[in-house]
Chain A
Amino acid sequence: MTAPFLSLDAITRRFEPRLILGDRIAARLGARVENRPVRAVTEVSLEIAKGETLGLVGESGCGKSTLGRVVAGILPPTSGTVLIDGKPVIEHGRKVTTRVQTVFQDPYASLDPRMRIGDIVAEGPIAHGLASKADAPGYVRDWLSRVGLDPDFAGRYPHQFSGGQRQRVAIARALAMQPDLLVCDEPVASLDVSIQAQIINLFLELRRELGITCLFISHDLRVVRHVSDRVAIMYLGRIVEIGATEAIYRDPQHPYTRALLGSVPKLVLEDDELVRFETISGEIPSPLAPPPGCTFHPRCPVAVEACRREVPVLFDDSDGRMVACHVRAMERAAMTKEGSA
């Protein structure tokens, strides 16, 4: 692997609920007030090479969006560092680079309804000197046509566009800042299937043209498989498995990855085939009170005693794949012993 372009080192992000007035007074007076922080992201380290797309998947509440916001410099991490090309994204709690841009899930919420889309796209580049005020209209027209919108739409307002077109505007706004890294947080989740396909195609095309590096966050395992070179699976704030996309989809090693992939509905094309649903029992525990040890152990079909006590760390499984699972680690150890014997 070449030198990492983006590197995250032990990122942790906690959210501490604000105490209500009564509790604050009680705390001042020395009472023990419970204030449990939510650990949205716990010690996540990963790297993305230049031009690579890393898919980040997981279910609601696993911390994938929080991690995306930390990478994008929108949220400062509680601890840990995010470096792009060796330079920090955030310093003293403030974003210090324009090299990372974000495309958000909801194109209805992420575009200011009172601004014309031309101004939405031009605002950042003008503020950061990428285009002068005089050049801005031409610059905007160029980006609008690159994302497949009629440049003459620049004078229109967001409400005059459909969901798919709005997402194109959001992509144009992000790319007009000429970022090196694009964080896409569920960019197609709110779109219809046929529009989703158009936006995925646009993304693939622009990525090839511009050589952009991307962190692609999604809960949709099918979409992630299609666009990512590597994929990371998160569960309750931690990465449980990371590696080359095809290898993971073909042969998942972490029991959670396996269960998650088994849960994805497949297109059934055989008559009278009764689909077997491989379901994971139970629900995702609350991040307020995560189980001790491996956070997946209460739902895990293969959990052993160690899983209840110790948090598994990511270990190198094979071919650059990392897995955080005690059971898999033991299997691996047994295999190497057999191999050397």
Chain B
Amino acid sequence: MNAPLLEVEGLRTHFFTRAGVVKAVDGVSFALAPGEILGLVGESGSGKSVTGFSLLGLIDPPGRIVDGSVRLEGEELVGMPTRALRRLRGRRIAMVFQDPMMTLNPVLSIGTQMSLAIRAHDAVSDKAARERSAAVLARVGIPDARARLDAFPHEFSGGMRQRVAIAIAMAHSPAVIVADEPTTALDVSIQAQILFEMRELARESGTALVWISHDLATVSSLAERILVMYAGRIVEEGATATVLRDPRHPYTRGLLDSLPATAEPGRPLNQIPGTTPSLLALPPGCPFAPRCAHASGSCREDPPRRAAAGRAYRCHHPLERVA
């Protein structure tokens, strides 16, 4: 593997609430190679979005990165002064949110806000910025891009807005784009268009993607490598197809079995019992143990991370390999 572009080590992001400390992200480590598409999957509260936000230093109080490091192209982002961070955000690392209106300002025309985003980092004329805006809009598949620069966000459909948000993220050809459930709110036909375009864009521009999603099928069609998160930790990781075909962690298996597509129609799904634990009161040891059919006494201690040939999982009782 080449030198990693992004290195995350022992990341801990906690929220200090009146009810107690919420350990949203608790010891996450991974590396991202240039141009790689990495899928980060998990259910609500697994810490996948907070991980994504932490990469860009977008954690507001009462939340705080309490430990760990995030290095982008060798530069440490944790603890970096806000001014320095702002010089990187949008230029070297950008984010696409689930709701495009998190990115878009409803009272500015698309052209104005795209120009602002471009001129935030590059000293170019307004005219040149508009030219570039039209060019990126065209690249994300917006027809008649130049004329659409004068339109306002409310004149766009949800899918078109998300395309604009992606265009803004792409405007500076960043090294990394963190995409947090960017197609979840969209209809399937639009979702397929955007997935296809994102993959092409990433390939053409060499941008690496961290694709955060709860949908295993979407991630499997896009990401080369997958990280499965549960209760703030990575429980399994590896090449996407390998992990999904042959999961070693019982939680990954459970997630797969919960998908209606994997069972015969009309038959009960092989469900995971119980619900995700409260992050305020995590059980000691493996957080999945209370829902796990294989749990034993040793699960009360934190399972070690076991790694082998690009594969890793955290479990005392890994599932047997399917032949």
A residues with CB within 8 A of B: 59-60, 162, 164-165, 192-198, 200-201, 204-205, 219, 221-223, 225-227, 245-246, 259-260, 262-273, 275, 277-280, 283-284
Most chain A beta carbons < 10 A, residue from B218, B262, B266: B266
Closest 6 CB pairs of A and B: A197-B258, A226-B260, A59-B187, A263-B192, A277-B196, A265-B217
A-B contact count (CB 8 A): 137
Tell me the chain B residues, 264-318 only, with Cβ under 8 Å from chain A.
265-266, 268-273, 275-276
From B159, B191, B254, name the one whose CB has the most chain A CB atoms within 10 angstroms: B191
Q: Which residue in chain B gives the minimum CB-CB distance to A53?
A: B266
19 CB-based A-B contacts, threshold 8 Å: A165-B275, A193-B43, A193-B214, A194-B43, A194-B272, A195-B43, A197-B271, A200-B269, A222-B261, A227-B266, A266-B220, A268-B221, A269-B220, A271-B241, A272-B241, A273-B241, A279-B189, A280-B192, A284-B189
Query: Within the complex, what minimum Cβ distance (angstroms) separates A214 from chain B?
Result: 13
Q: Is the CB of A279 within 8 A of B259?
A: no
Question: Do the beta carbons of A265 and B160 come within 8 Å of each other?
Answer: no
Which residues of B140-161 are within 8 A (CB) of A?
A: 157-160
Most buried by B among A205, A221, A271: A271
Do the beta carbons of A164 and B275 come within 8 Å of each other? yes
B244 in the interface (beta carbon within 8 A): yes
Contact B43 A277 (CB under 8 A): no
Name the distance in Å between B43's Cβ and chain A's nearest Cβ.
4
- Point out the residue from A194, A223, A246, A271 that lies within 8 Å of B254, measured CB to CB: A194
Q: Is the CB of B271 within 8 A of A225?
A: no
CB distance from B267 to the nearest CB of A (A): 8
Asked whether B260 lies within 8 Å of A265 as measured between CB atoms, the reply is no
Q: Which residues of B contact A (CB under 8 A)?
A: 43-44, 157-160, 187-193, 195-196, 214-218, 220-222, 239-242, 244-245, 254-263, 265-266, 268-273, 275-276
Q: Whose C-beta in chain B lies nearest to the C-beta of A223? A: B260
* Minimal Cβ-Cβ distance residue in B for A246: B265
Instruction: Determine the distance from Cα of A221 to Cα of B273 in the docked complex, in whole angstroms.
Output: 24
Q: Could you tell me if B188 and A283 are in contact, using CB atoms closer than 8 angstroms?
A: no
**A196 & B258 in contact (Cβ 8 Å cutoff):** yes
For the complex, give the distance between the alpha carbons of A204 and B216 in Å: 23
CA distance A273 to B242 in the complex (A): 12
A268 touches B260 (CB 8 A): no
> Cβ of B217 and Cβ of A266 under 8 Å apart?
yes
- Check B196 against A245 for contact (C-beta < 8 Å): no
Q: How far is the CA of A219 from the CA of B183 in the complex (A)?
A: 14
Contact B260 A200 (CB under 8 A): yes
Q: Are A193 and B255 in contact (CB under 8 A)?
A: yes
A211 to B: closest C-beta gap in Å: 15
Q: How far is the CB of A249 from chain B (nearest CB, A)?
A: 9
- Complex CA gap A198/B255 in Å reads 12
Contacts of B193 in A (CB 8 A): 277, 279-280
Please name the residue on chain B nearest to A225 by beta carbon.
B265
B259 adjacent to A267 (CB under 8 Å)? yes
| B268/A267 in contact, CB under 8 A | no
Given A194-B271, A196-B258, A222-B260, A268 and B240 contact (CB-CB distance below 8 Å): yes
Q: Are B159 and A265 in contact (CB under 8 A)?
A: no
B196 contacts across to A, CB distance below 8 A? 277, 279
Bound Cα distance from A279 to B186, whole angstroms: 14
Smallest Cβ distance from B315 to chain A, in angstroms?
Answer: 17
A277 pairs with B221, CB closer than 8 A: yes
Q: Which of B158, B189, B241, B266 is within 8 Å of A269, CB to CB?
A: B241
Shortest C-beta distance, B317 to chain A (Å), equals 19
Taking a contact as CB atoms closer than 8 A, the residue among B190, B220, B272 that contacts A268 in the complex is B220
Cβ 8 A contact of A279, one of B192, B215, B244:
B192
Contact B192 A265 (CB under 8 A): yes
Q: How far is the CA of A195 from the CA of B269 in the complex (A)?
A: 11
Interface centre among A259, A265, A278 (most CB of B within 10 A): A265
Contact A205 B255 (CB under 8 A): no
Given contacts A193-B259, A221-B188, A277-B221, are A269 and B254 in contact (CB under 8 A)?
Answer: no
Q: Tell whether, in the assembled complex, residue A263 and residue B191 are in contact, meaning their CB atoms are under 8 Å apart.
A: yes
Q: With contacts A59-B187, A195-B275, A265-B192 known, is A226 near B263, CB below 8 A?
A: yes
CA separation between A234 and B269, bound complex, in Å?
27
Contact B189–A267 (Cβ < 8 Å): no
A283 and B159 within 8 A (CB): yes
Nearest neighbor of A227 in chain B, beta-carbon distance: B266
A299 to B221, CA, bound (A): 24
Cα A226 to Cα B264 with chains together (Å): 7
Smallest CB separation, B218 vs chain A (Å): 5
Bound CA span A194–B266, Å:
17
Interface centre among A205, A223, A268, A280 (most CB of B within 10 A): A268
Beta-carbon nearest neighbor of B158 in chain A: A60
- With both beta carbons as reference points, the residue of chain A lying nearest to B255 in the complex is identified as A193
Select one of B43, B221, B266 contacting A204, CB under 8 A: B266
CB distance from B224 to the nearest CB of A (A): 9
